[in-house]
Structures are given as C-alpha cells and as structure tokens.
Amino acid sequence: MASEEERRAVCPGCDVDYLRVIKRFHSEPEEAVEFFRRHGVLPSEVYCPDCQEPCKLRKDKHQWYCGRYKKYGNTKKRVQCSFCVSDYKGSFLDNTHLPAWQILLFINHWIQKFWNHDVIITCLKWSTKTSVDWRSFCSEVTLSWLQNQPPIGGPGVVVEIDETFFVRAKYDRGRDLRDVWLFGGIERVGKRFFLVFLVKGNQVLDRSAATLVPIIKKFIRLGSIVNSDGWAAYRRLADEGYTHRVINHKEAFVDPDDPTINTQTIERLWRDVKEWSKRPGLRTEYFEQYFSRYLFLHANREQTLHHFLIDAAALYTPQSDQPRERPGAVPAIPTGLPPKDDDDPDDPPPRPLYL
C-alpha cells in the first residue's frame, strides 16, 4: 500500500491548467479513462474472487473478466470461469452512463474558484438534475477530506488557534435561529491549517473545553507550541502535552514583552474565510458543502485536479485496492457464452455485470 506522500506526489502531466485540461481530454476522450486510472480512481488490476488470478480488461466495454479454464470437480472436464465486472464498479464513476471525459471536464470546472451549472448544462449538454447530482458527488469528496484533515504542528512548531462566529443557522421552522461557530488552527510558518464547524448533525456544539480540547488533540500534534486568546476552554492545554501561550485580547493583540505571542496568522485566515462566505446565493443548509469545497481549494491551490482525484480514489475504493477475498464479492455469472481469449476477434464479449 502506497504511503500518503507517495499518493500525493504529483503525476507527470498533472501540471495542466483549466484550458489545457479541456483541450486535452475533449480532443482525446479515451485518455480520460487512463488519467482516472493513473490517479487510482479506476483499478489498474482486478483479481477474480474464484480463481484468485488477475483478470483481463476489455477496454471497449470497460469490463474486467477472467475467462480461465479450470477443472470441474474430480473429472477431467474443464469449464471456463465466467466472472465479469464493470471497470467502474465501486469507484467514483460507479453506475454512471456518462463518458469519462465529460466527468473529468465537470470536475475540472467544479474545482475552479467561480463555477456555475449553466456552463456545464450549455457546454456538456447535461440536464440540470445531472449537474446537481455530480455537484453532490464532488461535494462528498471534499466533505470527506474536511472530516479527515491530517494533524498539524509538532514539537517546537507554533500553532495559533481561535474560534469565530461564522453563520446564524435556521433550524426546523419559524424563527429558530442558532449561532454556528468555526474553530481552527494554523501553523505560523508552514501555513498548514485545520478548520471545524462546531455542528454535529442538527446540533450546534458549544465552545466548552469538553468540545474544543478533543478537537485540539485530534488535529494538533503533541509537543506543539499553541498560541491562543484567554478563552477559558484552553486553560488545561498545558496539562495535555502542549506548550500553551496566551495573549489577552482585552489588553493587546500582540504581547508587548514577547511579540511572538499573538494570533495574527489565524485572524488573517478568518478574514479570507468570511470574505468568501459573504458571497450572495449561499444557502445555509448547504453551508458545509460550500465550506468544504472552499477549504479544499484553499489548501490545494496547485495541482488541484490531481489532489481531488487522489481523495476521490480514497473515498471510493477501486477494485485494485480491495482485498482479494472479501465478504460480498461479486460472484461469477453464468452467461451461456463464456468469454474466450482476446486473441480471436470473433470471440463473443462477456456478459456485463453493470451496464
């Protein structure tokens, strides 16, 4: 299994901009499938669950099949394995009838700072429902990324933490409004950060130590130097394995005796986030989707398409990364006309498991 650094390493050919992606995959649509495969979105190999041997790929049908002959019981009779499965099975492209190049162009547009459905509907000839559905699928990837942000900091690394009022959410009916807060931390030098909505389902979480300390322990490595304001929930950080430095904002924003004690870096991050959140047309019930997309783009400003596909592959595990023996494996399907060797062009194709 590849390490996180190996998975994140930029592939050759990934340093392409928005317009080059359109030109490249619109003119060579079949290359989109291989582009997905290089990023792990589609499997590079599939093993037959019965024979435990690698399958063959029929590219024109996007199917993996076995087709090996094996003995029938204790007799000399040989039967051909009829295992066949879609190349898209279990992946980000599962159950879609759309060409791979159109999906890739949709993703390429969706990860831009400004995007809209009208461009997709006009250029790709998609229906509104299809465009909305794929926006939701892409949002699932960024939401998963947001919920699984890697920890930051480390011994001797300065991390600034803070919470800020973000939005007044409306729940159920009437005038049931509640304040939703955003909590986060950022490395002063490396600028790596994490941000968490203090919401769980429809429940708005408070800003007590019981809420914030577990989040800090999850997202900030022990031994970090944590700068914060004087909020009471942070008082026990020194007992949790951190070097805790406090700046009282009622007196000053920068410690006059030690200028390194401040939270200026995360305050700048709040300004960027709130500038984006004030855009018109953002609906409260979809704020987490909007927010996860914004943060993903903010954290992956270079080779954004590459990083999105890596996270899509991690969320929707392709068959090549699944164990060979697994519960619920797709059984072999008797077709009546089992697939034969690829060398004969007149061979009948295997029966597809998924259309």
Looking at the fold, whether 272 and 349 belong to one and the same domain comes out as no
Looking at the fold, whether 167 and 300 belong to one and the same domain comes out as yes
Report the mean per-residue pLDDT for the chain: 80
- Please state, in angstroms and rounded to a whole number, the distance separating the CA atoms of residues 292 and 152: 18
Q: If the chain, 355 residues long, is cut into consecutive pieces of 10 residues, what is the mean pLDDT of each piece?
A: 53 74 85 91 89 89 88 78 89 92 94 87 93 93 88 94 76 54 90 84 79 93 94 92 89 85 90 71 69 85 90 85 42 37 42 32
Looking at the fold, whether 211 and 289 belong to one and the same domain comes out as yes
Displacement of CA 1 from its chain's centroid (Å): 18
Instruction: For residue 124, give the 3-state DSSP assignment.
Output: helix
Residues 312/34, Cβ–Cβ less than 8 Å: no
Examine the fold and report which residue of 264, 280, 305 is the final residue of a domain before the chain moves on.
Answer: 305
CATH number (domain holding residue 228): 3.30.420.10
Looking at the fold, whether 200 and 276 belong to one and the same domain comes out as yes
Looking at the fold, whether 166 and 230 belong to one and the same domain comes out as yes
Looking at the fold, whether 187 and 244 belong to one and the same domain comes out as yes
Q: How high is the pLDDT of residue 352?
A: 35
Residue 115 covered by a domain: no
Total domain count, the chain: 2
Looking at the fold, whether 258 and 339 belong to one and the same domain comes out as no
Q: How high is the pLDDT of residue 330?
A: 36
Looking at the fold, whether 225 and 294 belong to one and the same domain comes out as yes
Q: How high is the pLDDT of residue 343?
A: 42
pTM higher than 0.85? no
- Please state, in angstroms and rounded to a whole number, the distance separating the CA atoms of residues 293 and 296: 5
Looking at the fold, whether 330 and 298 belong to one and the same domain comes out as no
Q: How high is the pLDDT of residue 283?
A: 64
Residue 214 covered by a domain: yes
Residue 99 covered by a domain: no
Q: How high is the pLDDT of residue 135?
A: 92
* Strands annotated E in the chain: 56-58, 63-65, 69-71, 78-80, 84-86, 158-170, 177-187, 193-197, 199-200, 203-204, 225-228, 243-246
Residue 38 covered by a domain: no
Displacement of CA 88 from its chain's centroid (Å): 18
Residue 195 covered by a domain: yes
Residue 32 covered by a domain: no
CB-CB neighbours of 140 under 10 Å: 15
Q: How high is the pLDDT of residue 328?
A: 38
DSSP 68: -
Looking at the fold, whether 174 and 280 belong to one and the same domain comes out as yes
Looking at the fold, whether 79 and 177 belong to one and the same domain comes out as no
Looking at the fold, whether 180 and 286 belong to one and the same domain comes out as yes
Domain span holding position 181:
158-305
Displacement of CA 198 from its chain's centroid (Å): 21
